Chains A and B, each alone.
Chain A
């Protein structure tokens, strides 16, 4: 069988996609994070403050 690739495609650069990419990178994989907009961040980057810590979302 052909050798498996150590690279992963993550589709969507919102909080879920970013977290997946970060964890995969830490687990020893190379990640392509594909986002259709001009910046990653998704909806969470639009939120002013997040519950419950009221941290800035960015």
Chain B
């Protein structure tokens, strides 16, 4: 968020709405109406005086109406833009022409009641729609007593209640009597999978967020007992099943398979009546009921669709096609929940994908309207002055200040050698604080900075950039993590937490005094990409990169392109997958920017982001290519289960084998009278630990196909949880309506496939009937799941980490879902994790978008924290090169001697080399031995002082 606020190429227009759009792709004209803020954001310093003196209360929408705020306000302290605004509907001056208190108290005279709405005409080449999601209908909530019984709350209200900056500062209390709830129930599928309120689809995210909220509630109130009521547990995302099970184990949640029809209030508690699968009726009392509210189409979606001339699906979300999932129509793209309910990683992925789509369309205009960010030259005079340290101690709202005595830490910092200035900051990462930081640097001539706040992992780059803006070298800042390491872990002992914070600040100051400026290096980028894997993901990524104007080398190990998709004959969405595949292949083979290598493999990849060199083995021999980035789309395999008589009887097939049969029409089915499908035949803990995500909709899709071809054929599906998330839920409903019979089983009682006489039977336990049943079958179809390539040679060559299951691991699950730990390498498709075609294609676009960033820039900036070898000291032993986990050290000959040399662009600054060098020839930028020793010595200081004092006291006594 702050990053977007700081980019010179992003102009944020708040309180703004698009009125109309005209023109055509490449050249649109948009009319945007900007409502008045009544506070000039350029003048506003976010001091908060206006809000403090504003006499007019308003309901706090940001806090989900759980609290009151003022008519003059800011929604939250880290808001971007960091400027207050005046609520038109509540302000006394605007409604009754009386008050003006804020105008009088505002120091910088930022308040302007004469502001008028402004219309701006913007010329743009493309549009990306990300309006998010909207609310479920009122009746979906009121039927569970929401709005009637105060202790029935929504999931978003719980988020605010748990938040330390929320209305209760993170204390979990019941709205009715402010007591701490002992028993809490989560009701799933509120406003989802509910035909009665016009929301038949599944919202995809609620099962997972309920688990997260329940876990966080337990952290806040360990004594609380929590029960979660599910129809199906839909944790189909990557790694979600494992996380869910861990949480259930750790916190002892009760997972109940039941849909609660309504909530009643009895003597100040809430009564739930429910029927479990065995048919038993239960009545249980709870103190707090949380409604896991679903995701609806955004408000005003219809109007939006009209303005932009796009179509909506029957539920009011944007209508798109599988083959091009992010395009609403030419030049207008969608990303996020407007495309359908989805979680944060999916939304982030689609966002990158939509950016790639725009970049394909506007490739010729790239850079044309860009503003270069320029930093002032470094202030040499300031640097040459004796060390002047400034210490900024962050409150982080109450996150730090609620435990640590930040004022005492500040005063202590002032007493440290070298410190010329120290102050407290409410939120040091907020934009206005960063502006002030720059002013303070100038005002007090600071040339070393210590930020006592949170983790450098997340926030150091932000402060480094601020230093650069202030004309200081970015390496002259040191962070002390007094949030994670003090206020969070020692929340129960404020005194010691404060002491520890002082220790950390003292150590940081000691190190800061020794910090030296470091040079930021730029490395040129070879403007081409290597895409490994010629399946749907690889081809879609290759096409996007090529359309964005860069050369692509596409390597496929088989003789034909297509991968897994070649075996998929139908899609749940109704489109023809073989046509999608054919189009992809034709475009790839014809594209002037793409070179295809079939029956080929990648033998070796060396180098680093911007400058990779790879050897491709083809039939005729080897080929060496240079490229700037790598996209790994190596796919996965259909799992082959060892049980279920698979491979021993021709009546037992996998879903893909069934599809092959069904593609031949009714003929393919022959005289099949009864089909039994078994879900999770391999997945979710049998042979594969993970959920394969796509099998539930695949089974339902094929079941419907059977019913279509031969309505009299019976279809039974044994399942654990039907995970037909999102709009796939419609298929599930349709299948039930058409007589497909669904039988739930427990993992402890998996169905078995047995030979009986000349036939086959499936024996299983039906949880509803509560008894064992045997179903004779003409065909048994196994939903076998997706098996990763555990020995993925590409992952080994690139040294990129894999998950326990064997899929490629992303750099950050939420924020960097298509990148990996190695820079310049991007992932998509089944190699990243199981997913249906639509998600694969969107992810391929995302990987292409990310991969083009370094290509488009033409250079990569190397962070200055890299190793440096002092050549004179180096004895050429090679220990460092053998230990480096990133292949960032090479041994070279220099004047007939072997010397280690660091490839700066590949170095991650982990320091392994430096710590193992037997002759201390390697130092790490920003972490010199001198600075670290100083820091360690500072750690011991106060104890020495204390013992001295103790001795003195003893002597005095």
Interfacial residues, chain A to chain B (CB-CB below 8 A): 2-55, 58
Chain A neighbourhood of B367, CB < 8 A: 6, 28
Q: Closest Cβ of chain B: how far from A40's Cβ, in Å?
A: 5
Query: B526-552 interface mask toward A, CB cutoff 8 Å, 1 = contact, 0 = none?
Result: 000000000000000000000010000
Closest to B854 in A: A26
Chain A neighbourhood of B80, CB < 8 A: 39-41
**Contacting pair A7 B347 (CB below 8 A):** no
Closest to B333 in A: A20
Alpha-carbon distance A35/B35, docked complex (angstroms): 11
**Contacting pair B358 A22 (CB below 8 A):** no
Q: Which of A9, A28, A58 lies in contact with B856, CB distance below 8 A?
A: A28
Does B122 sit within 8 A of A, measured CB to CB? yes
B window 22-56: CB within 8 A of A: 26-28, 30, 32, 37
Does B335 sit within 8 A of A, measured CB to CB? yes
**Contacting pair A2 B27 (CB below 8 A):** yes
B window 351-380: CB within 8 A of A: 351-352, 354-356, 358-359, 361-362, 364-371
Alpha-carbon distance A31/B212, docked complex (angstroms): 34
**Contacting pair A48 B166 (CB below 8 A):** yes
Interfacial residues, chain B to chain A (CB-CB below 8 A): 1, 3-5, 7, 9-18, 26-28, 30, 32, 37, 62, 64, 74-76, 78-81, 85, 122-133, 156, 159-160, 162-164, 166, 208-209, 211-212, 216, 239, 243, 304, 335-338, 344, 347-348, 350-352, 354-356, 358-359, 361-362, 364-371, 458, 548, 812-814, 849-850, 852-853, 856-857
**Contacting pair B132 A12 (CB below 8 A):** yes
Alpha-carbon distance A33/B5, docked complex (angstroms): 10
Alpha-carbon distance A39/B124, docked complex (angstroms): 23
Alpha-carbon distance A14/B347, docked complex (angstroms): 10
Closest to A10 in B: B128
Q: Which of A3, A20, A49, A55 lies in contact with B354, CB distance below 8 A?
A: A20
**Contacting pair B355 A48 (CB below 8 A):** no
**Contacting pair A12 B131 (CB below 8 A):** yes
Besides the contacts A7-B122, A20-B351, A42-B132, what 5 more A-B pairs have beta carbons closer than 8 Å? A4-B364, A11-B304, A22-B3, A22-B4, A37-B75
Q: Which of B132, B164, B361 lies in contact with A16, CB distance below 8 A?
A: B132
Q: Which of A2, A11, A24, A58 lies in contact with B129, CB distance below 8 A?
A: A11
Alpha-carbon distance A17/B127, docked complex (angstroms): 11
Chain B neighbourhood of A50, CB < 8 A: 212, 344, 814
Alpha-carbon distance A8/B359, docked complex (angstroms): 10
Q: Which of A5, A7, A38 lies in contact with B14, CB distance below 8 A?
A: A38
**Contacting pair A7 B348 (CB below 8 A):** no
Alpha-carbon distance A25/B7, docked complex (angstroms): 8
Report 29 cross-chain contacts, Cβ distance below 8 Å, ordered by A residue: A5-B123, A6-B366, A6-B370, A7-B122, A7-B369, A9-B126, A9-B127, A11-B128, A11-B129, A13-B14, A18-B1, A20-B128, A20-B335, A21-B4, A24-B9, A24-B355, A25-B10, A26-B853, A27-B358, A27-B852, A31-B10, A35-B13, A36-B15, A38-B37, A45-B76, A46-B159, A51-B211, A52-B239, A53-B814
Q: Closest Cβ of chain B: how far from A10's Cβ, in Å?
A: 5
**Contacting pair A49 B366 (CB below 8 A):** no
User: Taking A16-B348, A53-B813 as contacts, is the C-beta distance between A39 and B75 under 8 angstroms?
Assistant: yes
User: Taking A31-B11, A50-B814 as contacts, is the C-beta distance between A8 and B362 under 8 angstroms?
Assistant: yes
**Contacting pair B11 A23 (CB below 8 A):** no
Chain A neighbourhood of B37, CB < 8 A: 38
Nearest 9 A/B pairs, CB to CB: A16-B336, A19-B351, A23-B355, A6-B368, A17-B130, A6-B369, A12-B130, A6-B365, A39-B79
Closest to A44 in B: B344
Alpha-carbon distance A54/B162, docked complex (angstroms): 13
Chain B neighbourhood of A34, CB < 8 A: 13, 16-18, 32
Chain B neighbourhood of A21, CB < 8 A: 4, 7, 10
Closest to B308 in A: A11
Closest to A52 in B: B243
**Contacting pair B813 A32 (CB below 8 A):** no
User: Taking A27-B366, A32-B11, A38-B79 as contacts, is the C-beta distance between A8 and B853 under 8 angstroms?
Assistant: no
Chain B neighbourhood of A19, CB < 8 A: 335, 347-348, 351-352, 355
User: Taking A38-B37, A41-B79 as contacts, is the C-beta distance between A30 and B362 under 8 angstroms?
Assistant: no
A to B contact number (C-beta, < 8 Å): 263
Chain A neighbourhood of B350, CB < 8 A: 16
Chain A neighbourhood of B79, CB < 8 A: 38-39, 41
Chain B neighbourhood of A2, CB < 8 A: 26-27
Alpha-carbon distance A31/B7, docked complex (angstroms): 10
Q: Which of A29, A40, A55, A58 lies in contact with B366, CB distance below 8 A?
A: A29
**Contacting pair B351 A5 (CB below 8 A):** no
Closest to B853 in A: A26
Chain A neighbourhood of B335, CB < 8 A: 16-17, 19-20
User: Taking A27-B852, A38-B75 as contacts, is the C-beta distance between A33 and B163 under 8 angstroms?
Assistant: no
Chain B neighbourhood of A10, CB < 8 A: 127-128, 130
Interface centre among A51, A52, A53 (most CB of B within 10 A): A51
Interface centre among B17, B130, B850 (most CB of A within 10 A): B130
**Contacting pair B159 A47 (CB below 8 A):** yes
**Contacting pair A9 B30 (CB below 8 A):** yes
Alpha-carbon distance A40/B15, docked complex (angstroms): 10
Alpha-carbon distance A32/B62, docked complex (angstroms): 24
**Contacting pair A36 B16 (CB below 8 A):** yes
**Contacting pair B7 A5 (CB below 8 A):** no
**Contacting pair A9 B18 (CB below 8 A):** yes
Q: Closest Cβ of chain A: how far from B327's Cβ, in Å?
A: 14
Q: Closest Cβ of chain B: how far from A31's Cβ, in Å?
A: 5
Chain A neighbourhood of B162, CB < 8 A: 48-49
Alpha-carbon distance A29/B458, docked complex (angstroms): 26
**Contacting pair B14 A40 (CB below 8 A):** yes
Closest to A4 in B: B26
**Contacting pair B849 A23 (CB below 8 A):** yes
Q: Closest Cβ of chain B: how far from A35's Cβ, in Å?
A: 5
**Contacting pair B126 A28 (CB below 8 A):** no
Alpha-carbon distance A44/B76, docked complex (angstroms): 13
Closest to B371 in A: A30
**Contacting pair A37 B358 (CB below 8 A):** no
User: Taking A5-B27, A29-B369, A53-B813 as contacts, is the C-beta distance between A40 and B11 under 8 angstroms?
Assistant: no
Chain A neighbourhood of B338, CB < 8 A: 12, 16
Chain A neighbourhood of B849, CB < 8 A: 23, 27
Alpha-carbon distance A38/B82, docked complex (angstroms): 10
**Contacting pair B130 A11 (CB below 8 A):** yes
Alpha-carbon distance A22/B812, docked complex (angstroms): 16
Interface centre among A8, A14, A28 (most CB of B within 10 A): A8
Q: Closest Cβ of chain A: how far from B226's Cβ, in Å?
A: 16
User: Taking A4-B125, A27-B366, A29-B370 as contacts, is the C-beta distance between A11 and B131 under 8 angstroms?
Assistant: yes
Q: Closest Cβ of chain B: how far from A55's Cβ, in Å?
A: 7
Chain B neighbourhood of A44, CB < 8 A: 344
Alpha-carbon distance A6/B128, docked complex (angstroms): 14
Chain A neighbourhood of B27, CB < 8 A: 2-5
Chain B neighbourhood of A14, CB < 8 A: 130, 132, 336-337, 347
Chain A neighbourhood of B10, CB < 8 A: 21-22, 25, 31, 33
Closest to B355 in A: A23
Chain A neighbourhood of B133, CB < 8 A: 43
Q: Closest Cβ of chain B: how far from A36's Cβ, in Å?
A: 5
User: Taking A6-B370, A10-B128, A28-B856 as contacts, is the C-beta distance between A33 and B4 under 8 angstroms?
Assistant: yes
Chain A neighbourhood of B216, CB < 8 A: 48-49, 54
Alpha-carbon distance A47/B403, docked complex (angstroms): 22
User: Taking A6-B366, A46-B62 as contacts, is the C-beta distance between A41 and B1 under 8 angstroms?
Assistant: yes
Q: Closest Cβ of chain A: how far from B332's Cβ, in Å?
A: 9
Alpha-carbon distance A49/B344, docked complex (angstroms): 12
Closest to B205 in A: A51
Chain A neighbourhood of B17, CB < 8 A: 34, 36
Chain A neighbourhood of B458, CB < 8 A: 55
User: Taking A14-B132, A16-B350 as contacts, is the C-beta distance between A8 and B13 under 8 angstroms?
Assistant: no
Q: Closest Cβ of chain A: how far from B631's Cβ, in Å?
A: 16
Q: Closest Cβ of chain A: how far from B882's Cβ, in Å?
A: 32
